[in-house]
Amino acid sequence: MKYRRLGKTELKVSIIGIGTWQFGGEWGLDYSQKEADAILDKAKDLGINLIDTAECYGDHLSESFIGSYMQRNNRQDWVLATKFGHHFHERFKRTEEWTPQEVVKQLEASLLALKTDYIDLYQFHSGPDEAFDNDEMWNVLNKQVEAGKIRHLGTSIGKNDNIHQTEASSKVNSQAIQVVYNRLDRAPEERVFPTCIEQDLGVLARVPLASGYLSGKYKPGAVFDETDVRHRHDREATLQKLQEVERIEQQEVPQGMDMAKWALAWCLKHPAVTAVIPGCKNADQVTINASSVDLVSTNHPQDWKD
């Protein structure tokens, strides 16, 4: 594994992390603790120390799987990133909750589910600018930082060119940006990444496999089960993405190379990107995803130096 400094948080993170939206049951599978453990065990074996989860991947369900694993596997060795701002009701149904009181309540629920007394990175979960611009919310969160319940604050921007929230990060003491970035969607390169570099924000590239489409295993016309979030994607947009993936596979991916491995390494080459957080369905995917470090050279501005 290779490690980088998550911007000014100074956290040492593996460049391949694990996204765990999948544990919440919205990707066509309901997970058991044993299945979640197998993914996290494989991550640990391969030197991965970064896990991204959220309050609404199930009703704190993904956090709860991770918390139970952490109880048996040295919590202090991991960097746990979770989020606030939503309440999960049932599959694909959430409501938003941004008042300072609601946010503190969510923090306590996340700590309980994660079975820990601190969160390494607590992220504003893709909320609107009006919610982000509430200073009272950030004041309350910064008090929780002082109290030691949160080590660092971050922002997961919804639209991946949200320059408003990215530019305002340092002002509210948000030290990392989570953003959709992959070979099919390069929008952050234009405005978001330059200000991340200028402010020394850590950057977590989410959806780095374009929801799995960039793995190359789906062909144009692919259909998904209705319990899989991809069933809800716009059909025409998915068709175009899958056609573009075929072109990329032929013209850009070296022959014989696993395309998921290639796609993750592609994201990690940008000087603003600290780590990728691919969602993983099983331990084999963790192994392939971790192997993309072989394609990443060590001349990145955030390379970890002991």
Ligand X SMILES: NC(=O)c1ccc[n+]([C@@H]2O[C@H](COP(=O)([O-])OP(=O)(O)OC[C@H]3O[C@@H](n4cnc5c(N)ncnc54)[C@H](OP(=O)(O)O)[C@@H]3O)[C@@H](O)[C@H]2O)c1
Q: Is 293 in the site for ligand X (CB under 6 A)?
A: no
Binding residue for ligand X, selected from 212, 248, 290, 300, defined by CB under 6 A: 212
| Whether 237 contacts 166, CB under 8 Å | no
Query: What mask, x for binding ligand X by CB under 6 A, covers residues 122 to 161?
Result: ---xx-----------------------------x-----
Binding residue for ligand X, selected from 9, 15, 16, 20, defined by CB under 6 A: 20
Q: Is 274 in the site for ligand X (CB under 6 A)?
A: no
Q: Is 211 in the site for ligand X (CB under 6 A)?
A: yes
Q: Is 85 in the site for ligand X (CB under 6 A)?
A: no
Q: Is 208 in the site for ligand X (CB under 6 A)?
A: yes
Torsion sign (Cα): 275, 5, 120, 97: negative
Of the candidates 159, 158, 194, 154, the residue with the CA atom closest to the CA atom of residue 172: 154
Q: Is 207 in the site for ligand X (CB under 6 A)?
A: yes
**Residue 117 beta carbon to ligand X: minimum distance, rounded to whole angstroms:** 22
**Residue 299 beta carbon to ligand X: minimum distance, rounded to whole angstroms:** 25
Q: Is 277 in the site for ligand X (CB under 6 A)?
A: yes
Give 7 or 19: the residue with its C-beta nearer to ligand X. 19
Q: Is 260 in the site for ligand X (CB under 6 A)?
A: yes
Q: Is 110 in the site for ligand X (CB under 6 A)?
A: no
Give 4 or 146: the residue with its C-beta nearer to ligand X. 4
| Rounded-to-integer distance, Cα 34 and Cα 108, Å | 25
Give the binding-site size for ligand X (rule: CB under 6 A).
29
**Residue 18 beta carbon to ligand X: minimum distance, rounded to whole angstroms:** 8
According to CB under 6 A, which residues from 215 to 254 bind ligand X? 215, 217
Q: Is 278 in the site for ligand X (CB under 6 A)?
A: yes
According to CB under 6 A, which residues from 28 to 57 bind ligand X? 52
**Residue 259 beta carbon to ligand X: minimum distance, rounded to whole angstroms:** 8
Write out the two tokens for 23: 């544990």
**Residue 48 beta carbon to ligand X: minimum distance, rounded to whole angstroms:** 13
What string of H, E and C letters represents the secondary structure of the chain?
Answer: CCEEECECCCCEEECECEECHHHHCCECCCCCHHHHHHHHHHHHHCCCCEEECCCCCCCCHHHHHHHHHHHHCCHHHCEEEEEECEEEEECCEEEECCCHHHHHHHHHHHHHHHCCCCEEEEEEECCCHHHHCCHHHHHHHHHHHHCCCEEEEEEECCCCCCHHHHHCHHHHCEEEEEEECECCECHHHCCHHHHHHHHCEEEEEECCCCCCHHHCCCCCCCCCCCCEHHHHCCHHHHHHHHHHHHHHHHHCCCCCCCHHHHHHHHHHCCCCCCEECCECCCHHHHHHHHHHHHHCCCCCCCECCC
Among the residue ranges 18-26, 163-171, 233-241, 297-305, the one whose residues contact ligand X (CB under 6 A): 18-26
Give the binding site for ligand X (CB under 6 A).
19-22, 27, 52, 83, 125-126, 156, 178, 206-212, 215, 217, 260, 277-281, 285, 288-289
